[in-house]
Structure 1
């Protein structure tokens, strides 16, 4: 839209979109022309957008927590295997990472 001095511009409006692959998007539009959406995409309300976004975030956080837990378990097993093989605990901790900084900082990575 042209910015002509003295001509009032319409207020921008936020439109929420769900695409065919279930991803979400926000569009800021001004004027009366509806933006063209790709095949399979549809406009949704702000409430539906926020609900689906929250569900996606919860699923993401859950998956990240699973991955971090699996990593902690691998580090623990490596530590135990190294100690069983006769490696000192200090060296085993250093080699495996078990009980090190990652065990202390995982919580801040998930926001929990």
Structure 2
């Protein structure tokens, strides 16, 4: 059964545009039945899909680098807290729970 709505038009082809904004972020805009390029919501420029993908890959690599950096900082902090608790005579299991340290057991006298 086909239904027609008065005033409605059938959807046409979808056109995809890729954007790199001046702040370094990226965007993908899909327009259906569009006859002209989209207006951007903030300063930037339309780019090829290849250029968009290259910038997106850069952003993802930077995000992963920052994630790894935060993980290393967290590991160093929990290790320091664990060692301080162990040096104060706190039992290992309790020191692990209190500090969040999950690495190998460390003798506080040898660190």
Q: TM-score, normalised on structure 2? A: 0.78
Match of 2:24 among 7, 12, 22: 22
Match of 1:41 among 44, 47, 54: 44
Structure 1, unaligned runs of 5 or more: 104-112
Q: How many residues align?
A: 97
Does residue 74 of the first structure (1) align with residue 71 of the second (2)? no
Structure 2, unaligned runs of 5 or more: 1-6, 105-111
CA deviations over 1:52-89 (Å, ceiling 9, x no partner): 00010000001011001100110011000001011111
Which segments of structure 1 move beyond 4 Å, counting only runs of 4 or more? none
Provide the aligned C-alpha RMSD in A. 2.0
- Deviation of 1:4 (Å): 2.6
- Deviation of 1:38 (Å): 4.4
